[in-house]
């Protein structure tokens, strides 16, 4: 149930883009046949899939949304609302299905408790704590209007990942490095929203410089951040800055093809 509803949501979106409603029904029907064969026709999953196969197309999205909503609450009742899987499901639900679908204050409180528990268990800069804080920051950035809290979380995440892991002096792509890149981008975008172009450039340039000396995946992410910088400079009419960035991009790309 954790993965089932998001998979259905994704296939439903593909159906809309392709103009073929039968893709989702084909998936549900095939899955139903497998469950009937393996678990029997009276198994709860078999009954659920049988019911979904009968839902009219116009009612499908609301049915899927309600199914995911109920699954989140059922799992939360069993393992607690501050469980990592439950919070990840809530984050996915409010991002893709219903932005008003949860109590934001409770969501923040539960995620804060989860971060604190991870810190107490393994330390502030442990992989577990950083992974949890990354998920919290991601959820807030995409699902909340609380820019102040989002900025605070991203700043904390950036500070904890300022010294990413390395091998033979070269930065390696990891959850720490991923979190560093993400926090840099969030802080840059929040600065740009306030009209702080210098801050926006500083955050991205710092991340590009650091990731650009790392392993292949780090350098790939540096190129992606360079693309963000280039696009914005072009909007500003800064041709000289754009050309300098294009040169940096070409140099980085050459390291990825050798």
**Interval 147-203: pLDDT, tens:** 999 999 999 999 999 887 777 778 899 999 999 999 999 999 999 999 998 999 999
Instruction: Single out the residue of 183, 188, 253 nearest to residue 222, CA to CA.
Output: 253
Angle between helices 84-96 and 57-79 (to 10 degrees): 160
DSSP state of 102: S
Classify 166 as helix, strand or coil. strand
Q: What is the pLDDT of residues 80-93, one digit of tens each?
A: 888 889 988 988 88
Tell me how far the alpha carbon of residue 176 is from its chain's centroid: 15
Consecutive H or E run containing 120:
helix 104-122
The contacts of residue 238 (CB under 8 Å, 6+ apart) are: none
Nearest Cα to 76, choosing from 89, 57, 92, 91? 89
Question: Can you give the pLDDT at residue 258?
Answer: 63
Rounded CA-CA distance 78/213 in Å is: 46
Number of separate helices (H) and strands (E) present in the chain: 12, 2
Tell me what percent of the residues of the chain surpass a pLDDT of 90.
Answer: 61
Cβ neighbours of residue 231 closer than 8 Å, sequence gap 6 or more? none
Whether pLDDT at 99 is above 80: no
- Residue 247 makes CB contacts below 8 A (sequence gap 6+) with none
């Amino acid at each position: 149930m954790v993965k089932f509803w998001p998979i259905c949501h994704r296939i439903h979106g593909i159906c809309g883009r392709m103009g073929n409603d039968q893709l989702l029904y084909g998936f549900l029907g095939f899955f139903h046949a497998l469950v009937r064969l393996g678990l029997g026709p009276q198994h709860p999953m078999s009954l659920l899939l049988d019911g979904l196969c009968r839902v009219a197309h116009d009612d499908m999205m609301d049915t899927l949304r309600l199914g995911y909503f109920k699954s989140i609450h059922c799992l939360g009742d069993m393992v607690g609302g501050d469980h990592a899987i439950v919070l990840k499901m809530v984050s996915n639900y409010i991002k893709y299905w219903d932005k008003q679908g949860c109590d934001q204050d409770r969501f923040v409180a539960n995620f804060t408790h989860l971060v604190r528990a991870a810190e107490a268990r393994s330390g502030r800069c442990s992989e577990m704590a950083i992974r949890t804080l990354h998920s919290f920051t991601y959820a807030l950035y995409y699902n909340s209007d609380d820019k102040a809290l989002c900025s605070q979380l991203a700043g904390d995440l950036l500070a904890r990942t300022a010294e990413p892991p390395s091998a033979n002096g070269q930065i390696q792509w990891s959850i720490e490095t991923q979190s560093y890149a993400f926090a840099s981008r969030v802080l840059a975008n929040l600065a740009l929203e306030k009209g702080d172009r210098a801050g926006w450039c500083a955050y991205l340039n710092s991340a590009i410089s650091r990731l650009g000396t790392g392993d292949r995946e780090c350098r790939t992410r540096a190129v992606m951040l360079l693309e963000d910088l280039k696009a914005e400079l072009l909007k500003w009419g800064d041709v000289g800055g754009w050309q300098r960035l294009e040169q940096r991009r070409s140099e980085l790309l050459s390291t990825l093809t050798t």
